[in-house]
């Protein structure tokens, strides 16, 4: 068997597979299928200071090669997450990454300060897709200077590593990744969903209640792979690949391009056992090549 251990900054993971935010609830959604302690880490759905209702339905729409979602960051809020969900994650001995977001920079700071004091949380993942109410509703993640500023503020108030999840929808992910690095990020996650829409021609209406949503799944994999490859060459901090990974071979592509780990999302909505199957396929492939350590594979793309 290949040794699938990997290191993301100061965080050691037993394997490179991470459950992506938004597709595994608070981690407890998959406890009947496999133990969270068997995978590298789990990223919770986005947590805000107060509970959030999210967008109007319909919130999900299948496409020919992926999934559109417009959940609207619905969540139970910080207090209930800490009291009701975090204890369950501790019981499973999961490596927990908490995705956080806010409508003001101060909310990110408060969340990072409070969550980093909780036992059983190994890192924070900044979701910068929330509108900045002070700048006319523009997303925090669209402006490199804002990315740098929020990352720096969160780092100053967090006792645990800080990852920054970025999108390629509206800006150059490499430029944003450099900004996150300048702000002190411990790692960047490339990439979030792409802004998209679908139309119901019978009803002559958008398929989603909020009109636009985030596209995930196999359709975005080539975009994500290119963004990861370019980002790895541009920054010194670790890059975590995310976008359309549904098999062991997919995951190995991102690692070969230089990602230190990968996040899997839409695939687990289709098949709850996908994480275990992906890990097995990775192990079988690497073992078949005689590769004993993941370090012999990561970043070894011949380009």
Q: What is the DSSP letter of 86?
A: H
CB contact burial 224-244 (16+ within 10 A = b; e otherwise): bbbbbbbbbeebebbbbbbbb
Residue 130 appears among annotated catalytic residues? yes
> If DSSP codes are grouped into helix, strand and coil, which group holds residue 124?
strand
Task: Give the separation between CA 59 and CA 65, rounded to whole angstroms.
Answer: 17
Given 24, 61, 95, 130, which residue is catalytic? 130
CA–chain centroid gap for 178, Å, is 18
Find the distance separating the first CA and the last CA of the chain, reported in whole Å: 28
Among positive and negative, which fits the CA dihedral 144, 175, 45, 198? positive
- Give me 294's structure tokens: 């993941």
Kindly give, in sequence order, each residue whose CB lies less than 8 Å from that of residue 136, ignoring residues fewer than 6 positions away: none
CA nearest 208: which of 64, 71, 53, 58? 58
Whether 41 contacts 19, CB under 8 Å: yes
Of 148, 134, 139, 147, the C-alpha closest to 169 is 139
Cα–chain center distance at 233 = 20
Residue numbers annotated as active site: 130
């Amino acid at each position: 068997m290949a040794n699938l251990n990997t290191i993301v900054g100061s965080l050691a993971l037993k394997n490179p597979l991470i459950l992506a935010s938004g597709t595994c609830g608070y981690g407890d959604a998959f406890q009947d299928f496999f133990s969270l302690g068997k995978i590298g880490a789990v990223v919770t759905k986005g947590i805000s200071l107060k509970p959030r209702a999210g967008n109007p339905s319909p919130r999900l729409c299948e496409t020919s090669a992926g999934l559109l979602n417009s959940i609207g960051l619905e969540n139970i809020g910080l207090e209930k997450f800490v009291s009701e969900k975090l204890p369950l994650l501790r019981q499973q001995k999961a490596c927990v990454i908490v995705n956080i977001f806010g409508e003001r920079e101060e909310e990110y700071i408060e969340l990072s300060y409070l969550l980093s004091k909780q036992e059983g949380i190994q890192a924070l993942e900044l979701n910068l897709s929330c509108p900045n109410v002070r700048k006319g509703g523009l997303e925090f993640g669209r402006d490199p200077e804002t990315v740098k500023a929020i990352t720096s503020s969160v780092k100053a108030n967090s006792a645990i590593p800080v990852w920054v999840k970025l999108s390629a929808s509206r800006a150059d992910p490499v430029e944003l990744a450099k900004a996150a690095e300048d702000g002190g990020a411990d790692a960047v996650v490339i990439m979030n969903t792409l802004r998209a829409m679908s139309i119901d021609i019978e009803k002559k209406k958008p398929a989603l209640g909020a009109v636009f949503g985030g596209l995930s799944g196999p359709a975005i994999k080539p975009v994500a792979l290119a963004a990861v490859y370019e980002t790895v060459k541009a920054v010194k901090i670790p890059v975590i690949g995310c976008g359309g990974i549904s098999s062991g071979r997919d995951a190995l592509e991102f690692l070969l391009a230089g990602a230190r780990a990968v996040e899997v999302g839409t695939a687990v909505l289709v098949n709850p056992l996908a994480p275990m199957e992906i890990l097995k396929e990775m192990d079988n492939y690497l073992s078949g090549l005689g590769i004993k350590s993941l370090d012999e594979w990561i970043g070894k793309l011949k380009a």
